[in-house]
Amino acid sequence: MTLNKTKLQKIIKAIEKTKRKVYTVSELSRDTGIKDEILIDYLSKFNALIYFDNQANIKEYLEGIKEDFEDQNKEVVKRNDYVRSKDIEQYDGFIDYIYKTMTVQGGILDTGYGLTKKDIKIIKKLIKEESDRLSSKK
């Protein structure tokens, strides 16, 4: 089980703040407001015996909890899917794009094809181009 960042931060602060030599799950639960069962599920990934020993010292798991917190804080860099003119130039229009990307051999539409964000952006641009072409004819 994984906990969100704020709960992990509460756990870390409570463990670091205590002056006790042995800090148990029930004491941590009382200090953080998180139920014992949730804490036991989370801490079991550091030591599976915590299910059976409620008096285990959880100060021993502080480094692992900190590492877990740091892993959650790492920012995931999202790559933008840009649609460039070279992506659009290879298609004659919207119908050509559908035919080339979303069909199986024989021209049958693939119902299992999942659209991506880039596909949607390409389709929007192709439809806009066709719309502009049709409006210029009038």
What pTM value is reported for the model? 0.52
Could you give the CA distance from residue 50 to residue 67 in angstroms, rounded to a whole number?
A: 19
* Other beta carbons less than 10 A from residue 39's beta carbon: 21
10 Å CB burial of residue 107 (0-12, 13-18, 19+) is exposed
What pLDDT score does 75 carry?
66
Grouped pLDDT means (10 residues each) for the chain, 138 residues: 82 92 91 90 86 86 87 74 87 89 84 87 92 86
Q: Are residues 91 and 131 in the same domain?
A: yes
What was the pLDDT predicted at 77? 67
pLDDT score at 76: 65
Q: Identify which of 37, 9, 35, 12 has the alpha carbon closest to the alpha carbon of residue 23.
A: 12
79 in any annotated domain: no
CA 58 – CA 50 distance, rounded (Å):
9
In three-state secondary structure terms, 41 is helix
Choose one of 73, 98, 126: the last residue of a domain: 73
| pLDDT at 23 (0 to 100) | 92
Q: What is the pLDDT of residue 128?
A: 92
pLDDT at 83: 86
Q: Which domain holds residue 130?
A: 85-137
pLDDT given at position 50: 85
Domain total for the chain?
2
The pLDDT, as a whole number, for residue 68 is 85
